[in-house]
Amino acid sequence: MYENPFHVGSFSESAFLITGGAGFIGSNIAEYLLRYKAKRVVVLDNLATGFIENIQPFLGIPGFEFIKGDITSFEDCEKACKGIDYIFHDAALGSVPRSIENPLATHLANETGFIQLLLAARNSKVKRVVYASSSSVYGDSKEIPKVEERIGKQLSPYAVSKRGNELYAEIFAKTYGMEITGLRYFNIFGPRQNPNGAYAAAIPLFMKALLSHEAPLILGDGNQTRDFTFIENAVQANIKAMFVSAPVIPGAVYNIAVGERVSLNELIGILQKLTGTNLSPVHRPERAGDVRDSLADIRKADRELGYKPQIHMEEGLKRTLEWFRGYAAMNKPGK
Ligand SMILES: NC(=O)c1ccc[n+]([C@@H]2O[C@H](COP(=O)([O-])OP(=O)(O)OC[C@H]3O[C@@H](n4cnc5c(N)ncnc54)[C@H](O)[C@@H]3O)[C@@H](O)[C@H]2O)c1
């Protein structure tokens, strides 16, 4: 999948922890680290929304270790952090509607879990933590494109939890001298993203519908826009943020996207072309808490991390469709 490593040095002397590594983004980071011969890759995941299948191929690889555990438990975090140099923190309960239905569960996993992990990372003297924030922190800001320094008011408990992570990251970085970098992901998509369940994201849902010859469901008029970002770009951003040698600003955050926006109607058009289908979408009312338009200014990540998205949307969609076509568990229950 990856043609070039995103890091000039070697991983062979380094131990990595990936929280949420049995999920979509985390398992893709794990795959990259293992491909480029990391000494140790530990995954900490409670399988709340992740799948053992996502890491099954790694289980026999020397240096790979799966800990079924919870980031809200300090004990689990401490165990997972033992001997670790670098942490990619991607464990969280995703989804805006999930957080509206159960704000406490989102808070526990996303906020309490984040603090427990940072405390364990601090005790273990981990060199750097790169964690997942989200474009949802921009909330009701109408500004397009979104620039890191200016955000609006968050529109959901999920967005508040991610903003909370950013504030804690900054405080932990300043107070305890830790290196912690946040990545505001903008609609990441690609292989291993779960197409099932009430909280699935738009691209896997649309792909699943079209490949099953069903009409895709659009919430709203379909003119809402997103900066859809292929997973390989997000993996690149993680690796670059982890190894950039320039001094890290305490608790810095970066937009991780492509810097192009597409409406849901346009997205369906591209997917219809790629799948050779012409099923028209069905429209239902918009969801509470969703932002209308989303487009990132990615110049800060380029300037400070050397992040340059290499895979544009159509190529990413082709690769994702290829994976979905071979995805045996397309109809397994959602989480
Ligand atoms: N996918 C996107 O477009 C996107 C956009 C913005 C932010 N994010 C963030 O990126 C991260 C990864 O998202 P993803 O799309 O891979 O989602 P995912 O649901 O596939 O992965 C999250 C993983 O975290 C695990 N997890 C959840 N709660 C846990 C807990 N308490 N203890 C241990 N593990 C736990 C889940 O089991 C899952 O494997 C999340 O923090 C998410 O909020 C994702």
Q: Could you give the CA distance from residue 33 to residue 38 in angstroms, rounded to a whole number?
A: 5
Q: What is the mean pLDDT of residues 181-188?
A: 98
CA of 49 relative to ligand 1 center, distance in Å: 7
Closest Cα to atom 21 of ligand 1: 23
Lowest mean pLDDT among 6-10, 115-119, 258-262: 6-10
- Please state which of the four CATH numbers 3.20.20.210, 3.40.718.10, 3.40.50.920, 3.40.50.720 is assigned to the domain occupying 15-191+230-257+293-310: 3.40.50.720
Verify whether ligand 1 is closer than 6 Å to residue 72 (CB atom): yes
Model confidence at 64, pLDDT cuts 50, 70, 90, reads very high
Q: What number of other Cβ atoms are within 10 A of residue 158's Cβ?
A: 26
Q: Which two tokens stand for residue 179?
A: 């290196």
Verify whether ligand 1 is closer than 6 Å to residue 155 (CB atom): no
Q: What is the mean pLDDT of residues 199-213?
A: 93
Model confidence at 91, pLDDT cuts 50, 70, 90, reads very high
Mind telling me the catalytic residues?
158
For residue 285, say if its preceding peptide bond is cis, omega within 30 degrees of 0. no
Whether 3 shows a pLDDT value over 50: the answer reads: no
- Substitution candidate for ligand 1 out of 46, 162, 256 with most atoms within 8 A of CB: 46
Model confidence at 1, pLDDT cuts 50, 70, 90, reads very low
Q: What is the mean pLDDT of residues 132-146?
A: 96
Which ligand 1 atom sits nearest the alpha carbon of residue 89?
41
CA of 23 relative to ligand 1 center, distance in Å: 6
CA of 90 relative to ligand 1 center, distance in Å: 5
Q: What is the mean pLDDT of residues 68-90?
A: 98
For 247, residues 6+ apart whose C-beta sits below 8 A from its C-beta are: none
Closest Cα to atom 9 of ligand 1: 132
- Substitution candidate for ligand 1 out of 104, 188, 320 with most atoms within 8 A of CB: 188
Q: Could you give the CA distance from residue 279 to residue 281 in angstroms, rounded to a whole number?
A: 6
Whether 124 shows a pLDDT value over 90: the answer reads: yes
Verify whether ligand 1 is closer than 6 Å to residue 230 (CB atom): no
Verify whether ligand 1 is closer than 6 Å to residue 49 (CB atom): yes
Q: Could you give the CA distance from residue 73 to residue 333 in angstroms, rounded to a whole number?
A: 27
Whether 61 shows a pLDDT value over 80: the answer reads: yes
Whether 332 shows a pLDDT value over 70: the answer reads: no
Q: Rounded mean pLDDT of the chain?
A: 94
142-171 pLDDT tens trace = 999 999 999 999 999 999 999 999 999 999
CA of 89 relative to ligand 1 center, distance in Å: 9
Closest Cα to atom 12 of ligand 1: 90
Helix (H, G, I), strand (E, B) or coil at 35: helix
12-44 pLDDT tens trace = 999 999 999 999 999 999 999 999 999 999 999
pLDDT of residue 331: 57
Could you tell me what percent of the chain has a pLDDT over 70?
96
pLDDT of residue 4: 43
279-327 pLDDT tens trace = 889 999 988 777 789 999 999 999 999 999 999 999 999 999 999 998 7
Q: Which two tokens stand for residue 116?
A: 């427990």
Q: Could you give the CA distance from residue 169 to residue 91 in angstroms, rounded to a whole number?
A: 15
Verify whether ligand 1 is closer than 6 Å to residue 93 (CB atom): yes
pLDDT of residue 319: 97
Asked if 130 and 88 touch (Cβ cutoff 8 Å), the reply is yes
Strand spans (E) along the chain: 15-19, 40-45, 64-68, 86-89, 128-134, 180-185, 188-189, 217-219, 225-226, 229-230, 253-256, 262-263, 282-284
Q: What is the mean pLDDT of residues 224-243?
A: 97
Verify whether ligand 1 is closer than 6 Å to residue 46 (CB atom): yes
Verify whether ligand 1 is closer than 6 Å to residue 156 (CB atom): no
Share of the chain residues as helix, strand and coil, in percent rounded to the nearest 5? 40, 15, 45
Q: What is the mean pLDDT of residues 234-263?
A: 92
CA of 50 relative to ligand 1 center, distance in Å: 8
CA of 65 relative to ligand 1 center, distance in Å: 19
Domain positions in the chain: 15-191+230-257+293-310
pTM score over 0.85: yes
